[in-house]
Structure 1
Amino acid sequence: MPAWAKAFLALIGFLAGGFLPEAGRAQTSDLVSQNALRVCADPANDPVSTRDGTGYENKLAELIAAELDLPVQYVWFPQATGFIRNTLMAKRCDIVMGYAQGHELVQNTNHYYTSAYALIVKEDGDLTGVDSLSDPALKDRRIGIVAGTPPAAHMARNGLIGKAKPYNLVVDRRVESPAVDMLNDLQSGEIDAAILWGPLGGPLVKADYPEMKVTTLINEELPPRLFFRITMGVRQGEKVWQRKLNSLIRRNQDDINALLFEAGVPLVNDLGTEVLEPTQ
Structure 2
Amino acid sequence: MKRAGLLTLLLAACAPDPLKVCADPNNLPFSNRAGEGFENKLAELIASDLDRPIAYTWWAQRRGFVRNTVGEGACDIWPGVAAGLETLETTRPYYRASYMFVTRQSDDLAGLTLDDPRLKRLSLGVQLVGDDGGNTPPAHALARRGIIGNVRGYMLYGDYTRPNPPAAIVDAVEKGEIDAGLVWGPLAGYFARRSKVPLRLEPVTPWLDDNQWPMAYDISVGVRKDDPQLRDDVDRVLKARKREIAKLLEDYGIEPIGPQATAP
TM-score between both structures, scaled by the size of structure 2 = 0.82
* C-alpha distance after superposition, 1:80-117 (max 9, x if no partner): 12322222222222110111122222211121111111
2-structure distance, mates of 1:132, 1:39: 37
Residue 189 in 1 paired to residue 176 in 2? Answer: yes
CA distance in structure 2 between the aligned counterparts of 1:157 and 1:90, rounded to whole angstroms: 37
Residue 228 of structure 1: SS of its match in structure 2? Answer: strand
Deviation at 1:75, TM superposition (A): 1.2
Q: Is the 8 A contact 1:42 1:50 kept in 2?
A: yes
Q: Secondary structure at the match of 1:161?
A: coil
SS of structure 1 residue aligned to 2:231? helix
Report the CA distance between 1:119 and its aligned residue: 0.6
CA apart distance, 1:133: 2.0
Counting strand residues as a fraction of each chain, which structure ranks higher? 2
Identity rate, percent: 35
Structure 2 residue aligned with 1:119: 101
Aligned alpha-carbon RMSD (Å): 2.3
Matched, 1:242 2:223: no
Structure 2 counterpart SS, 1:98? strand
**2:126 aligns with one of 145, 148, 165:** 145
1:59 aligns with 2:24: no
Aligned to 1:226: 215
Gaps of 5+ in 2: 1-14, 129-134
**Matched positions, count:** 240
TM-score, scaled to structure 1: 0.78
Letter in 1 for 2:45: L
Runs ≥4 residues deviating over 6 A = none
**Structure 1 runs not aligned, ≥5 long:** 1-32, 274-280
- Structure 1 position 175, deviation (Å): 4.9
Counterpart in the other structure of 2:253: 264
Larger gyration radius, structure 1 or structure 2: 1
Q: Could you tell me how far 1:35 is from its partner in structure 2?
A: 3.0
Partner of 2:244: 255
Q: Secondary structure at the match of 1:181?
A: helix
* Distance (whole Å) between structure 2 residues aligned to residue 171 and residue 189 of structure 1: 19
User: Which range moves more in the overlay, 165-174 or 186-195?
Assistant: 165-174
User: Judging changes above 3 Å, is the alpha-carbon distance between structure 1 residues 162 and 268 closer, same or farther for their aligned structure 2 residues?
Assistant: farther
